Amino acid sequence: MRLFVALELPAAVRENLGALLKALRAVSPQTRWVRPENLHLTLKFIGEVPETEFAVIRNALAAARSDQPVALEFRGLGFFPNEKRPRVFWAGIEASPNLKTLAAEIDRAMEKLGIPCEQRPFSPHLTLARFEPPELPEKLRSAIEENAAREFGSFRTNQYQLIESKLKPSGAEYTTLESFPFAAAEA
């Protein structure tokens, strides 16, 4: 099983980002765009694990907690590592401070199971496209600049999901295996 932990997006945010992706895909169809239904905020990539480890992973994730739900605002666009040699095109996220703490807690819980900790600092973002080779066509650069300040919505959540990723020639297919509440629901 190929697994990761993520926050799933509400329909309104997914639709707003989907509209942007549709417009940009028309400008640059050769770019490897993420399908809107696959958009998510990764908290921890677990990787390949035997099915026999599922219950142990599930139990470790069920213990992760936060004192309150996380608040997220989706706005802005950017590139990793940078615009001159882009490998990843992303939508930015402004999140409440407890998101970083929650991601670190999940990372530590998985480390106890022998899953390596993340080497890079947690940087919340939504991957919208990947570039190989890392170059940005000028028409696409202009279209992205026109949308740079765009806002895509916001939401609060008190749960995260364990998701299985199956790699297929048509692209990754994601299946949510379980949701985990990490904070009390707001009244």
Provide the annotated active-site residues. 40, 125
In terms of Cα–Cα distance, which of 61, 65, 62 is closest to 46? Answer: 61
d(CA 95, CA 160) in angstroms, rounded, equals 14
Tell me how crowded residue 24 is: count the other CB atoms within 10 A of its CB: 21
d(CA 30, CA 43) in angstroms, rounded, equals 29
**Residue 30 φ/ψ, nearest 5 degrees:** -80, -15
Residue 55: helix, strand or coil by DSSP? Answer: helix
Residue 114, Ramachandran bin (φ over 0: left; ψ between -120 and 50: alpha; else beta): left
d(CA 47, CA 178) in angstroms, rounded, equals 16
Is residue 63 a contact partner of residue 52, using CB atoms and an 8 Å limit? Answer: no
d(CA 68, CA 18) in angstroms, rounded, equals 29
